[in-house]
Structure 1
Amino acid sequence: MAYLLKNLTNSIWHAFYALQGDTPGIVAKSKLKVLTANFGTLMDLYGVEKGLDDYRSTQWLTFDQFLYYLQNEVFASISDATPMQTCRLLEERIEEICWLVSRKAYADQKHRVFEDRSIYQLFRIFCLLAEMGTHNAESSYLITMHSNEVAQISSQLVTSLGLHWDSSDFAELSAALTAFRFPTFLAVLESKYSGGGTLDTAAVAEAIDDLYQIYVNDVIKKGYLIKKGFLLPTMRYYWFVLQPGKLTYYKDAQQKDPAGVITLNVNCWADAVKDSGKLDKQFILSSPDNKALELVADDHRGRLQWLAALQIAIDHSGDRIGYQRSLAMQRRSMRLAKKQLKEETGMELQHERQARIAAELQARKLEALSREEGAKVQELEEIKLKLERLLEEEKQALQDEEIVRNLQARVLKEEWERREQLEKLQQEQQELLESERLKRLEFEQKQQENELKLQEAAARLEQLESERQGLDAELRSVREKVRQAEGAQILLEAQIVVTRPLRGGERIRRTQSMIPTSKERSDAIEYLKDRVTSTQEDIHPVT
């Protein structure tokens, strides 16, 4: 249960504060392991302190870190199903351990007025009513009790001891003290509100024990009542102790052995009984499970007090936090609300003062303005007309703006379409460029092939030119030979004419056989011409 650790936070802080070394705000893990082991033993959790070695890498812990470890590793074993009586017992035993750790700083001092048990009881009362709040230079937190709570405890103690309570004197004391820590609280009670050591120690111890019963044990009311027996109608005095959820009665006020316990819940009720002779004193306590319990108080006032107390005990029978603790929380909430209301009231008064001054200034201004009001009526009318025109212009401007927005939307749409077209054209252009690049590469390849062919043709041309020149030379030599042959033919013909016919006929024939005929000459000439022509035809296509 989270509320159990919350109830014990103040007590654990005192134990943590007592274990501090030279460095404030931190405690070594070795010391905290002992404290954690004691807590675990009470809850039947053995070895729970060993987890501190693995919890964080430092050898020390702050109070927040230690509280977080307790919440997750120790108090996590307490659930909502845990009986309330078990939780109360655990709370009491854990606070005893915390007191044993921190008592040296509070009880082991000289000239103590209160007994050790009384100091322990005041320690538990202080931890119940104190608040954890203001940051301190020595530690992370400071546990203090509000002056109203100290005044309540002090006044009850003074009243129980039969002394006079001076509220004005306590107001001066609380104004002089900045905060009521436990040493301060203890010193104030010992020095001012316990008789200063002049009263009987037993009486002081009894008064403190009464406070302990009220605040720690949630005793709402206690006293003698007459109880009617269940079996026999006998009336007998018993000492009754009323707490939330139960009414216990004893044979005497020593409260040693209970004679009976009556469980209270929301289904119980208490009513006054109007009977002859007991009109103002008798009342009855009823419940659906138990028989009606007839009780008689000492007087009418006592009966009213017991009836009111029983109703409180019935209403808080299922309260796990505790009756006095809940009352302390309510008082704390009321103090915070009053403080906030006071601050808000102060701010409201300041605002009202400022508003009043502003109203006075405004009234003066209005008085001055009222004199000029008549002259400004016409001006206001003109301003009204101007405002109307401006309103019309503004409406027109809004319409124009709407038109412009539509145009902008249209332009944006067109721009978007153009952008898409441009992207499409860009893509087509890229495709064209790619095709042109491929064509250029093909053209360059063909150009290289043509250049190779041209080089080959040039070489072939040179070869044919050389052949043509050779043929030309051959043709010229052939023509020269033909010319010489013709000259020789003419010469031979001349010789044939002058030669005698008889002897010369035979020699002429032999000579004619050696000289080519005209047909042979013409054939040779034609052959040479054909050779030159074919050579020229071979050269002409290439060029």
Structure 2
Amino acid sequence: MDLRAELLKSIWHAFTALDLEKSGKVSKSQLKVLSHNLCTVLNVPQDPVALEEHFKDDDTGPVSSHGYMPYLNQYILDKVRENCFDKCQFDEVCWMLAAKKNLRREGRDGNLLSNDDAFKIWRIFNFLSEAKYPLIMLPGEVEFLLRKLTTAMGAHWQEDSPELGPMAAVIGQNGQELSAWELIALIDSRPLAPGADRLALTLAIDEVYQELLMDIIKKGYLWKKGHKRKNWMERYFLLKSNIISYYVHEDLKEKKGVIVLEKVSNVMPIPDKDGRRFLFLINSSGKCFEISASDPRQRQAWISSIQSVIRVLEDGHVSVARDMQRRRREQRERRGEERDQLAQHMTDLKEEQERSRQQLQNLKQSQQEAEMRALVEEQKRAQAQAEIQEKYESELLHDKKVIAEMEVEIKAREVETKAHQERIRELEEMYQQLSAALEAERQAKHEEEAARELQARLLRDEECKREELEHLQEEQEQELNATRREKAELERESIERQQALENANQQLHNLESEREEAQRKHQEISEKLASASTCTQSWRDRVKRCEMLLRPIRPGDRPAPIISHRGQGAFTQEQFEIERRMRDMSMGGGKRASPDQSQHTSQPSPNLTLGPE
């Protein structure tokens, strides 16, 4: 049983307790309080307006259990995490609401169960009840619980015992189903064992409670042999799930160690030694633990409990109580199926018997009618003449022969009926085989269709990928052609720049020989440089570097110092000329200069300032 189903059982008790009018509905204010308490004990963050938002379209009255379940699942149960809250505290909150309405107690002296005992019985009921609402406990589970309690009190269970009294009507396979409050009232009505008092019942309930809900299978004092000192010490052992813990005392305050049981663990009795009797050995995780019991009965009880835990671990389960509950449920289901099959078989037999009885009745009626006709004929023959008496006797013999033949026919029909039933059974078996074969063929066709759909989808994906590859190939070809065109354009531009550079060098030599004409051309070049500066910024910087070469040399005038990024006068005219030529050569791969710009770069301005590009 999962955690959600266990929580829903306790919440169902609380919800039905709030339904005072038994109409199946609870007011929103009560549901708000219930939801707040549930979120608190379950450690779930609460949305204060979620309930109002969830039921904003239903403001006419209280909310039913079907209307509350979606909110409960979405905002509370879906957020619950296992081992993040105290399950006992959660049950106490639901018990407090449910017991206030449903638990009817007499005076304290007249009750066998205390409030704590009733709460434990209520939790045991939730554990053993079926996950069907309203919650009930089946008669077999009731008998199982009563057997457990009786055995825990040291008594023997006997269904015909006069001490059971009214309990005999609700136990066994044919008994009635019980609710939680009926079960508490039943146990509280009279002792389960002769001479049992309230304390014995409380101890028995606590033992069964620890076994079923706390998963404490066995506990008690035993003697254990030490691993190092090899001495025998009395310890209090506690078998819970697949772990055996041992303590100094039964108050469980000082823990001395644990024994972890596994699938490969084993337990077996061993001969007496070291002055100790009733020994048994536990072999687990490569270690051996020698234990001594007080008597053979205690030793056998511990061995049986440990072996049951190992069997549960081999089956892949953890809790012995839940495994036993699962086995009992499966056994009940098998018995129910067998009862249904037996009832169906008895019904078929009764129908067949009824048909045979009807046929026999018809045959008897026919025989009576034949006898009546024979009697009438015999009376007529008695009145007839003596010479035809022999004829009548022969006819009577003939009628008896007919009756014998009819009896033989009846027997033959009975044989035929049995053969017909056998044939029907064979046809039913054949029908089941044909149904199985048809189902297998249908499954094969379904798998074939799925394979065809998968193949078609793979073909479509392959076609899409092929189209994408073709598209990518076309794009690559286009990009390659564009790259080739750009490369050819760059080569052409490089050649043109080289030619422009050669032309500029030639013009520079010409300008050196024609210094007188440079002043006139300087004004024209300055105007062209002003118009070329609007086209590109980079060539403007280059023209400014070259203007310094075109400055006229006047007699008595001192050339203006060159200002560069290194400061005024850092470069001479010759160094500047060399630096300019090297930069022009390195700029050959840049933007292509126009013919006008090539001419402009050959004559620098006298105001040129050398700086970083």
Indicate whether the TM-score tops 0.5. Answer: yes
- Whether the 8 Å CA contact 1:249–1:258 is kept in 2: the answer is yes
Q: 1:284 to 1:124 in 2, by over 3 A?
A: same
Amino acid aligned to 2:137: M
- Name the counterpart of 1:32: 31
- Whether the 8 Å CA contact 1:28–1:61 is kept in 2: the answer is yes
Q: 1:254 to 1:167 in 2, by over 3 A?
A: farther
- Whether the 8 Å CA contact 1:118–1:208 is kept in 2: the answer is yes
- Residue 95 of structure 1: CA displacement? 1.2
- Whether the 8 Å CA contact 2:19–2:25 is kept in 1: the answer is yes
- Residue ranges of structure 1 left out of the alignment (5+ in a row): 134-140, 373-543
- Whether the 8 Å CA contact 1:10–1:130 is kept in 2: the answer is no
Does 1:144 find its partner at 2:136?
yes
Amino acid aligned to 1:35: L
The one of 50, 70, 73 aligned to 1:71: 73
- Residue 194 of structure 1: CA displacement? 4.9
Q: 1:239 to 1:15 in 2, by over 3 A?
A: same
Q: How does 1:475-490 map to 2 (within 5 A)?
A: none
Q: 1:15 to 1:201 in 2, by over 3 A?
A: same
- Name the counterpart of 2:13: 14
- Name the counterpart of 1:334: 331
Q: Quick one: distance in 1 between partners of 2:155 and 2:359?
A: 60
Amino acid aligned to 2:88: E
Q: 1:339 to 1:272 in 2, by over 3 A?
A: same
Q: Quick one: distance in 2 between partners of 1:325 and 1:171?
A: 26
- Name the counterpart of 1:109: 105
- More relative contact order, 1 or 2 (CA 8 Å, 6+ apart): 1
Aligned-partner SS, 2:216? coil
Q: Quick one: distance in 1 between partners of 2:175 and 2:26?
A: 29
- Residue 334 of structure 1: CA displacement? 2.0
Aligned-partner SS, 2:23? coil
- Whether the 8 Å CA contact 1:146–1:180 is kept in 2: the answer is yes
- Residue 4 of structure 1: CA displacement? 0.3
Amino acid aligned to 2:408: E
Q: 1:173 to 1:273 in 2, by over 3 A?
A: closer
The one of 146, 150, 157 aligned to 1:154: 146
Q: Which has the higher helix share?
A: 1
- Residue 64 of structure 1: CA displacement? 3.9
From the CA coordinates, give the structure whose radius of gyration is larger.
1
- Residue 128 of structure 1: CA displacement? 0.8
Amino acid aligned to 1:24: S
Q: Quick one: distance in 2 between partners of 1:257 and 1:75?
A: 37
Does 1:249 find its partner at 2:246?
yes
- Name the counterpart of 1:188: 186
Amino acid aligned to 1:124: R
Q: How does 1:116-127 map to 2 (within 5 A)?
A: 116-127=115-126
- Name the counterpart of 1:58: 58
- Residue 341 of structure 1: CA displacement? 1.4
- Whether the 8 Å CA contact 1:143–1:181 is kept in 2: the answer is yes
Amino acid aligned to 1:150: V
Q: How does 1:93-108 map to 2 (within 5 A)?
A: 93-107=89-103
- Residue 76 of structure 1: CA displacement? 2.3
- Residue 366 of structure 1: CA displacement? 9.0
Q: 1:311 to 1:22 in 2, by over 3 A?
A: same
Q: Quick one: distance in 1 between partners of 2:411 and 2:176?
A: 57
- Whether the 8 Å CA contact 1:243–1:313 is kept in 2: the answer is no
Q: Quick one: distance in 2 between partners of 1:370 and 1:314?
A: 61
Q: How does 1:270-349 map to 2 (within 5 A)?
A: 270-274=267-271, 276=273, 281-288=278-285, 291-316=287-312, 322-349=319-346
- Name the counterpart of 1:354: 351
Aligned-partner SS, 1:328? helix
Q: Quick one: distance in 1 between partners of 2:36 and 2:2?
A: 21
- Residue 232 of structure 1: CA displacement? 1.9
- Whether the 8 Å CA contact 2:17–2:102 is kept in 1: the answer is no
Aligned-partner SS, 1:207? helix
Structure 1 residues 63-72 or 276-285, which shifts more?
Answer: 276-285
TM-score, normalization: structure 2? 0.51
- Name the counterpart of 1:265: 262
Q: 1:233 to 1:110 in 2, by over 3 A?
A: same
Q: Quick one: distance in 1 between partners of 2:412 and 2:182?
A: 69
Q: Quick one: distance in 2 between partners of 1:92 and 1:241?
A: 20
- Name the counterpart of 2:409: 368
How many residue pairs match? The answer is 356
- Whether the 8 Å CA contact 2:247–2:256 is kept in 1: the answer is yes
Aligned-partner SS, 1:143? coil
Q: 1:349 to 1:236 in 2, by over 3 A?
A: same
Structure 1 residues 296-305 or 174-183, which shifts more?
Answer: 174-183
Residue deviations 1:465-512 (CA, integer Å, cap 9, x gap): xxxxxxxxxxxxxxxxxxxxxxxxxxxxxxxxxxxxxxxxxxxxxxxx
- Whether the 8 Å CA contact 2:170–2:176 is kept in 1: the answer is no
Dislocated runs of 4+, deviation >6 Å: 277-280, 318-321, 359-366, 369-372
- Residue 370 of structure 1: CA displacement? 9.9
- Whether the 8 Å CA contact 2:242–2:318 is kept in 1: the answer is no
Amino acid aligned to 1:151: E
Q: Quick one: distance in 2 between partners of 1:321 and 1:31?
A: 38
Q: 1:192 to 1:163 in 2, by over 3 A?
A: farther
- Residue 113 of structure 1: CA displacement? 2.7
Aligned-partner SS, 2:117? helix
Over the aligned positions, Cα root-mean-square deviation in angstroms equals: 3.6
- Residue 24 of structure 1: CA displacement? 2.0
Aligned-partner SS, 1:167? coil
The one of 211, 217, 233 aligned to 1:220: 217
- Residue ranges of structure 2 left out of the alignment (5+ in a row): 364-405, 414-613
Q: Quick one: distance in 2 between partners of 1:162 and 1:251?
A: 26
- Residue 239 of structure 1: CA displacement? 2.0
Q: How does 1:229-244 map to 2 (within 5 A)?
A: 229-244=226-241
- Residue 44 of structure 1: CA displacement? 2.9
Aligned-partner SS, 2:58? coil
- Residue 129 of structure 1: CA displacement? 0.9
Aligned-partner SS, 1:131? coil
- Residue 234 of structure 1: CA displacement? 1.5
- Residue 185 of structure 1: CA displacement? 0.9
- Residue 356 of structure 1: CA displacement? 4.9
- Residue 173 of structure 1: CA displacement? 4.8
Q: Quick one: distance in 1 between partners of 2:175 and 2:409?
A: 56
Q: Quick one: distance in 1 between partners of 2:72 and 2:247?
A: 39
Q: Quick one: distance in 2 between partners of 1:32 and 1:320?
A: 37
Q: Quick one: distance in 1 between partners of 2:412 and 2:310?
A: 73
Q: 1:53 to 1:293 in 2, by over 3 A?
A: farther
Q: Quick one: distance in 1 between partners of 2:246 and 2:412?
A: 87
Q: Quick one: distance in 2 between partners of 1:215 and 1:25?
A: 31
Identity of aligned residues (%): 25
- Name the counterpart of 1:44: 43
Residue deviations 1:155-205 (CA, integer Å, cap 9, x gap): 332344456754135333559985311221111111123579x85433322
Q: How does 1:371-520 map to 2 (within 5 A)?
A: none
- Residue 147 of structure 1: CA displacement? 1.8
Q: 1:279 to 1:250 in 2, by over 3 A?
A: closer
Q: 1:242 to 1:19 in 2, by over 3 A?
A: same
Amino acid aligned to 2:135: I
Q: Quick one: distance in 1 between partners of 2:268 and 2:135?
A: 43
Aligned-partner SS, 2:2? helix
- Whether the 8 Å CA contact 1:25–1:62 is kept in 2: the answer is yes
- Whether the 8 Å CA contact 1:247–1:262 is kept in 2: the answer is yes
Q: Quick one: distance in 2 between partners of 1:219 and 1:99?
A: 23
- Whether the 8 Å CA contact 1:271–1:285 is kept in 2: the answer is yes
- Residue 354 of structure 1: CA displacement? 3.3
Q: Quick one: distance in 2 between partners of 1:103 and 1:257?
A: 37
Q: Quick one: distance in 2 between partners of 1:163 and 1:308?
A: 20
- Residue 355 of structure 1: CA displacement? 3.4
TM-score, normalization: structure 1? 0.57
- Whether the 8 Å CA contact 1:129–1:328 is kept in 2: the answer is yes
Q: 1:235 to 1:339 in 2, by over 3 A?
A: same
